[in-house]
Amino acid sequence: MSSKSHFVIGFCFVILFGNAASIDYGIALTKSLLYFEAQRSGKLPPNQRVQWRGDSALNDGKDAGIDLTGGYYDAGDNVKFGFPMAFTVTMLAWSVVEFGEKLEAKKELTNALNAIKWGTDYFIKAHTQPHGLYGEVGDGNSDHQCWERPEDMTTPRNSYKVDEQHPGSDLVGETAAAFAAAAIAFNKSDWSYSSQLLIHAKELFDFAKKFQGQYQTSISVAGQFYGSTGYEDELLWAATWLLKATQDKTYLDYINDQATSSGGTRSMFSWDDKYVGAQVLIAKNLLENKFPGNESSLNQYKKNAEEFICNCIQKGNNSIKKTNGGLLWWQPWNNLQYVTAATFVIINYADTLFASKNSLQCATGTVESSNLITFVKSQVDYILGENPKKMSYMVGFGTNYPQKIHHRGASIVSIKKDRATVSCNEGFSLWFYKNAANPNVLDGAIVGGPDLSDNYNDSRSNFQQAEAATANTAPLVGVLARLTE
């Protein structure tokens, strides 16, 4: 048999039995939205699907004389950090804005909107006055001294806010972006709620712009956990979403004014750095000819967005590192958060390139939209099991996935099965150090992921690799919706 025949047979085998046939993106999509129900704080609703969770943190806000129940726990602990929570909601909303029809076709649109609303309902409570926003409930340091189910929590639940005297433009700007993006997501199904969200978005953008400062200066307890490197990106990000939601020229003027400092070519897109998101939104509008007369001043945003994408797909001047197994690589701690965020902007931009009959010009040549989608699939398939370890880094997906993820609620027997209180230190002795799989499966959670050598240590104490976070899964919701058939 000729070598050419070998190639043809091998190629056919891959088509029949390889990546495309073995991964069900629809199942992964369903699980990704289930994950947010497991992260809920507050009084759980009647339609709660994740049954091993119970009501928790029902007194949040009492120290300030207000109701701050609800919202999300950020990761494997029991603190409500407003900064990454707002980014999570913005990305869930962006998923609905871009891929709502795909979500509806898979009967997941309602679940996606519910996930957004669980966050925005909390933000409405937290936005107590035009220039005031609560940005954290609980304290990371005291929380991390205990290993407790959220239902048993005994750690302090202090409420922390920003206001005119104690600003936080990054936190406030990101929350404004979340409100504006969610307003668009709800525009068809609940116009009244959408209008309410938009009012909050406008007030918060005004607050963030007029009273500038980094939020961890005002909420110091957030600094070591979710410290912000700056707020200019959040202001731009919020303005971009508000422009999309309102078509008000005021926001376009702001974006134009910032064009000379458009963020440059970023190395990542994340809960801390929103420049890529804003640049991609602006670039998409330019491709769709939505900025007549402003093209020249806004082209720098498009150039930076496209350079980031080129670097991700290994065709730029400063390509992002990859593991030998082919996964994009940024850092040892929670690397997959950057992968999911990057795949979202790439596949989103690919669709706009295709619709506008454009291609991407990278340093090493022209790239078609189909090439971008193929690249995104390679990253998603790696996450879902097509990797050297043959392990899915989405919990509950496939047959081989992390069993001992760093997550208090998942690692302790459900309060529905055993109502005996697990105290602060008991949690460590009884559950954290237990050499057994978590009793509750945290479906849809994306863990931190493998190291640069494609290895993964499945251990609760390995928080760099084994802890999941809402910011990891949120961008993947949209990507999975787009990839479903």
Residues 6+ apart with CB under 8 A from 102: 481, 482, 484
Asked whether residue 240 is assigned to any structural domain, the reply reads yes
Asked whether residue 13 is assigned to any structural domain, the reply reads no
Asked whether residue 397 is assigned to any structural domain, the reply reads no
Torsion 388-390-396-402 (CA) sign: negative
Give the H/E segment covering residue 133. strand 132-137
Mean pLDDT of 375-392: 98
On average, the pLDDT of the chain sits at: 95
pLDDT in tens, 170-183: 999 999 999 999 99
Nearest to 470 by CA among 136, 88, 56: 88
Q: What is the CA radius of gyration of the chain?
A: 22
Share of the chain above pLDDT 70, in %: 96
* Residues in a beta bridge with 159: 137
pLDDT in tens, 428-480: 999 999 999 999 999 999 999 999 999 999 999 999 999 999 999 999 999 99
pLDDT at 485: 79
pLDDT at 18: 38
pLDDT at 297: 87
The amino acid sitting at 470 is T
Mean pLDDT of 124-153: 97
pLDDT surpassing 90 at residue 26: yes
pLDDT at 20: 40
pLDDT at 294: 81
Asked whether residue 220 is assigned to any structural domain, the reply reads yes
Asked whether residue 173 is assigned to any structural domain, the reply reads yes
Residues 6+ apart with CB under 8 A from 2: none
pLDDT surpassing 50 at residue 3: no
Beta carbons within 10 angstroms of residue 121's beta carbon: 15
Helix (H, G, I), strand (E, B) or coil at 175: helix
pLDDT surpassing 50 at residue 38: yes
Q: Which domain holds residue 305?
A: 26-379+469-484
Band of pLDDT at residue 293, cut at 50, 70 and 90:
confident
pLDDT at 458: 98
Band of pLDDT at residue 272, cut at 50, 70 and 90:
very high
pLDDT in tens, 84-121: 999 999 999 999 999 999 999 999 999 999 999 999 99
Helix residue ranges per DSSP H, 130-190: 140-143, 169-185
- Kindly state the tokens that stand for 136: 């954290």
Mean pLDDT of 12-16: 34
pLDDT in tens, 209-264: 999 999 999 999 999 999 999 999 999 999 999 999 999 999 999 999 998 888 99
pLDDT at 16: 33
Residues 6+ apart with CB under 8 A from 391: 385, 400, 401, 402, 456
Asked whether residue 419 is assigned to any structural domain, the reply reads no
Beta carbons within 10 angstroms of residue 346's beta carbon: 23
CATH of the domain at 149: 1.50.10.10
* Residues in a beta bridge with 80: 137
pLDDT at 292: 80
Asked whether residue 412 is assigned to any structural domain, the reply reads no
Torsion 26-30-33-39 (CA) sign: negative
pLDDT at 5: 35
Band of pLDDT at residue 295, cut at 50, 70 and 90:
confident
In whole angstroms, what is the distance from residue 325 CA to residue 387 CA? 6
Nearest to 168 by CA among 217, 120, 121: 217
Catalytic positions: 406
pLDDT at 261: 83
Nearest to 484 by CA among 345, 377, 339, 379: 377
Asked whether residue 231 is assigned to any structural domain, the reply reads yes
Band of pLDDT at residue 15, cut at 50, 70 and 90:
very low
pLDDT in tens, 182-204: 999 999 999 999 999 999 999 99
Are the CB atoms for 445 and 420 separated by under 8 Å? no
pTM: 0.95
**How many domains does one find in the chain?**
1
